[in-house]
Amino acid sequence: MADEAEHVPAINVKEPLDLIRLSLDERIYVKMRNERELRGRLHAYDQHLNMVLGEVEETVTTIEIDEETYEEVYRTTKRTIPMLFVRGDGVILVSPPSMRAAI
């Protein structure tokens, strides 16, 4: 049959960006470069993962070396931002709210 030649393999039609689409208007977790994490409500996104987030909590983790003991000290700094535009190239991972209790 002619259909045979055009046979499309039965892979899942779902694409990764659908995961983001299903998270619209939900609170999501975003892992960014430079040890930054964002938790906020996803208002909009595009194919580059540029995003508009609302009621954002940004967590920045820095590693400091204790001058006396030379131990690595992880310090987290948090701040809240009412509305934030995120450039997509800094994004590493996006996780929807499901199964994440402490968002």
Partner 1 sequence: MSRKEALSQFIQQIHGRPVVVKLNSGVDYRGVLACLDGYMNIALEQTEEYVNGQLKDKYGDAFIRGNNVLYISTHKRRAN
The residues, ordered by sequence, that sit 6+ positions from 44 with a Cβ below 8 Å of its Cβ are: 24, 51, 52
Choices 9-17, 51-59, 60-68, 75-83; region in contact with partner 1 by CB under 8 A: 9-17
DSSP-derived 3-state class of residue 85: strand
The residues, ordered by sequence, that sit 6+ positions from 48 with a Cβ below 8 Å of its Cβ are: 87, 88, 89
Asked if 34 interacts with partner 1 (CB under 8 A), we say: no
Asked if 87 interacts with partner 1 (CB under 8 A), we say: no
Site string for partner 1, 44-83 (x = CB under 8 A): -----x----------------------------------
Beta carbon of residue 39, minimum distance to partner 1 (angstroms, whole number): 13
DSSP-derived 3-state class of residue 16: helix
Beta carbon of residue 89, minimum distance to partner 1 (angstroms, whole number): 7
The whole-angstrom separation of Cα 13 and Cα 84 is 31
Residue 25 tokens read as: 């208007």
Binding site for partner 1 (CB under 8 A): 9, 11-12, 14-20, 29, 49, 88-89, 91-96, 98-100
